Structure 1
Amino acid sequence: MPDDIHAGCPRIEPIGLDGVIVRFGEALSQPANRAALAFRAALERDVPDGVEECSTSLVSTFVRFDPLSLSLAALVSALEQRLTGTDWYAAPLPEGRRLLRIPTVYGGDFGPQLDEAAAAAGMEAEAAIVALSGARVRVSAIGFAPGQPYLGTLPEAWDIPRQTGLTPRVPEGALVVAIRQFVVFSVSAPTGWRQVGRTAAPLFRPGSETPFLLRPGDEVIFDAVEAGAWDRLVADPKGGIVTEPLA
């Protein structure tokens, strides 16, 4: 059964004139994220007539429909039927997931806020690198910028707050951390999260048939490498990434 942070969920909420959100939680949790991903996959395997798009956020599935061919009431009824009888919080994750090992340079110019983030987590910088590079995290959602992943959840020590101010700009490939999550920046942008490392991962490939490197449900390990490896990683179109399928 869902715990307190899932109380009142799942529930369906209209969004604008042609969308609904199926919400599985009020805050990020692995079960709620699992439910959102699994429910989206189920809808995409058997798309209701009139539904035009499905996508996921951290704990919700978004459904966009054609209101000229499908009424809101009919869609809500169809979704309620699909929600019934399945424990979506324990449902299998979508097929086709992968484990990606992404080489990452931590600290120094590549992670200028590593020491600060480590202190907030109650550990020394070297211990922080061991902890962060040893974490296996799941892509919870893609958002903010093309191909940009949110990944979690990290151990409780990394439930550290965002900064009170903004870092004016972090580079493409910056690995940042806050609130038990990683984000890897697909573009250079400002952020309130602390940069602990940098990758050469090609997150957004606009000329590719699959422009986003990562997909919700994929799992990632940000392996620590020495700063001297950076030039080699940048020269590699894959950024040194090793990928294997997940059963």
Structure 2
Amino acid sequence: MTEPALQTPGFPRIDSVGLDGLLVRFGETLMEPANRAALAFKAEVERECPEGVEECSTSLVSCFVRFDPLAVNPTDLTARLARLVSARDWYDAALPEGRRFLSIPTVYGTELAPQLDEAAQAAGMSAAEAIQSLSSARVRVTAIGFAPGQPYLGTLPEAWDIPRQTALTPQVPVGALVVAIRQLVLFSVTTPTGWRHVGQTAVRLFQPESDRPFLLRPGDEVQFPSVTRERFETLRGDPLGGLTQEALP
């Protein structure tokens, strides 16, 4: 994600969501600066811990703040958040501390990920070029959503601005790596999808028995190095699926 810092006219802005929510929006569509801003702003809200705030979470380009309307006046909280928004350039803010770089071994193609050739053709690449591009990309967890612990990761090079399919694939397995619109999604559950299935991992993203059931967190950086089918089969017995990680500065 190397796009320059860029503010979109009309953003940032604060919108009400129901009776107990405020949405601080930094853009209309996914851009690196807007995602950076959402992550940094969430960390700052959690650090300041304004009275009445019960929860913060981020989507691709926004920060949702849930509050107790009996504990704080929504108008007062909106004003406080507005002051925080204007206090600095969030589009150029440092990313939060505690982020990690994770490497997740991935087998590309084969019958395990049967849409690699189709996705490569849509991106104007050979299968070998697609594997090289996807396996060398270092992407950020921009958001967690849709299913427990499921990450959206981006952004990929422009060649990967390929559309979703017009029809759904009936089912992809846990650990499926899929691609569309310059993003990757790594599935934590078995599910239908309109994204093309290009890789398969042995990692478990959702571990409900753990104190931290979600393996990945927004702001983490991830790479999906290519491994052979034989190597992948050995990783099926590894509780971490061959994953390695290190702290980011």
TM-score using structure 1 length: 0.98
* Superposition deviation, residue 2 in structure 1: 6.2
Partner of 2:70: 68
Once residues 231 and 130 of structure 1 are traced to their aligned partners in structure 2, the CA distance between those partners, rounded to angstroms, is: 21
Partner of 1:47: 49
1:82-130 per-residue CA deviation (whole Å, 9 max, x = no partner) reads: 0112000010101010000000000011211000100000010010000
Once residues 87 and 201 of structure 2 are traced to their aligned partners in structure 1, the CA distance between those partners, rounded to angstroms, is: 43
* Superposition deviation, residue 231 in structure 1: 2.2
Partner of 2:27: 25
Correspondence for 2:117 among 94, 115, 118 = 115
Q: Secondary structure at 1:64's aligned position in 2?
A: strand
Once residues 182 and 83 of structure 2 are traced to their aligned partners in structure 1, the CA distance between those partners, rounded to angstroms, is: 34
Does the 8 Å CA contact 2:20/2:68 hold for their aligned counterparts?
yes
Once residues 200 and 212 of structure 1 are traced to their aligned partners in structure 2, the CA distance between those partners, rounded to angstroms, is: 15
The aligned amino acid for 1:49 is E
Unaligned stretches of 5+ residues in structure 2: none
What is the Cα-based RMSD across aligned positions, in Å?
Answer: 1.0
Does the 8 Å CA contact 2:39/2:218 hold for their aligned counterparts?
yes
TM-score using structure 2 length: 0.97
Partner of 1:192: 194
Once residues 182 and 125 of structure 1 are traced to their aligned partners in structure 2, the CA distance between those partners, rounded to angstroms, is: 17
1:140-183 per-residue CA deviation (whole Å, 9 max, x = no partner) reads: 00000000000000000000000001001100000000000000
Once residues 245 and 52 of structure 1 are traced to their aligned partners in structure 2, the CA distance between those partners, rounded to angstroms, is: 28
Partner of 1:88: 90
Unaligned stretches of 5+ residues in structure 1: none
Partner of 1:220: 222
Partner of 2:58: 56
Partner of 2:180: 178
Q: Secondary structure at 1:232's aligned position in 2?
A: helix
Q: Secondary structure at 1:82's aligned position in 2?
A: helix
Correspondence for 2:13 among 11, 23, 38 = 11
**Count of aligned positions:** 246
- Runs of at least 4 residues off by over 6 Å: none
